[in-house]
Amino acid sequence: MQERLHMRHHPGTDPLPFEASIIDKTEDSLILSKSFCYPRGGGQPGDTGIFINDGKKCGFSEALGGEFIRHPVNEISGFSVGDEVRCEIDIDRRNRHAKMHTTQHVVSALADDLWGAETVGNQISTEYTRIDFLFPNRDEYDSDSLTEAVNTVIGSDTSVKVHEWSRDFVKDHEHMRHTKFMDRIPSFINELRVVEIDGIDLCPCAGTHVASTSDIDPIVITNVKSKGAGKFRITYQFENENI
């Protein structure tokens, strides 16, 4: 069994280096006894970084999920099952994704509160995030109103918490959002990770997040694109990086 350390670590920023043994390998990836790496999923990219093995450094590309977290490397022949390796995650990349992911929760929650807009997809990156919304009435949407509401929350120093709750408790909670997607979570998983932005959002999520909304920069919405059938795709980035 592989330990998934990122699931127990909150806030999900500034990941520490860790040491682990190689328990298996594929044609291009290492599988470790434990991993602090976030594997791609839920709209969030996977971590990248470097392995140090017997004094030699080797980069690994985006960590991938599944039954085990897989760490793709270019030179798989340089590693053997049983080797002890040190892993150093790209901290700047992880921190960017954690900030973007927490912001996505705020944007989605407020669009729901303002217009009953349902988030039906999202894709996070280091530079921007895009969210697909399904609106009961798209004519009501206003970028300025959403931006102002989001930045008010960002400036409020609202805490971000992580809970481990039973599947039934999550499903029956009256304030829980995004429970429609729970059928994608294997039925044998009875304890779910739930992210709470105090008074703003509450939903199942395995992603990495910051400790407080004050850790996030204000945003600007850079693009709104119609996706047909009541859908808008909204793209945002951090205001201080808008060009």
As a three-state string, the secondary structure of 124-186 is ECCCCEEEEEECCCHHHCCHHHHHHHHHHHHCCCCEEEEEEEEHHHHHHCCCCCCHHHHHHCC
* pLDDT for 114: 97
187 or 141, greater pLDDT: 141
User: Per residue in 60-110, pLDDT tens?
Assistant: 999 999 999 999 999 899 999 999 999 999 999 999 999 999 999 999 999
Distance CA(138)–CA(134), nearest Å, equals 8
Q: What is the pTM of this model?
A: 0.95
User: Per residue in 148-160, pLDDT tens?
Assistant: 999 999 999 999 9
Confidence bin at 186 (pLDDT 50/70/90): confident
Percent of the chain with pLDDT over 70: 99
* pLDDT for 182: 77
Q: Amino acid letter at 225?
A: K
Q: Looking at residues 168-179, what average pLDDT do you find?
A: 91
Token pair 């919405």 in the structure block, residue: 221
* pLDDT for 13: 97
**What sign has the CA pseudo-torsion 60, 20, 189, 199?**
negative
User: Per residue in 12-67, pLDDT tens?
Assistant: 999 999 999 999 999 999 999 999 999 999 999 999 999 999 889 999 999 999 99
Distance CA(171)–CA(36), nearest Å, equals 28
* pLDDT for 241: 84
Q: What angle do CA 108, 144, 208 make, to 5 degrees?
A: 30
122 contact partners, CB below 8 Å, separation of at least 6: 43, 104, 108, 129, 130, 131, 132
Q: How far is CA 77 from CA 1, 43, 85, 176, 242, in A?
A: 24, 31, 14, 47, 43
What mean pLDDT value characterizes the chain?
A: 95
Distance CA(65)–CA(134), nearest Å, equals 28
Structure tokens at 130: 């895009």
Phi/psi of residue 138, nearest 5 degrees: -65, -25
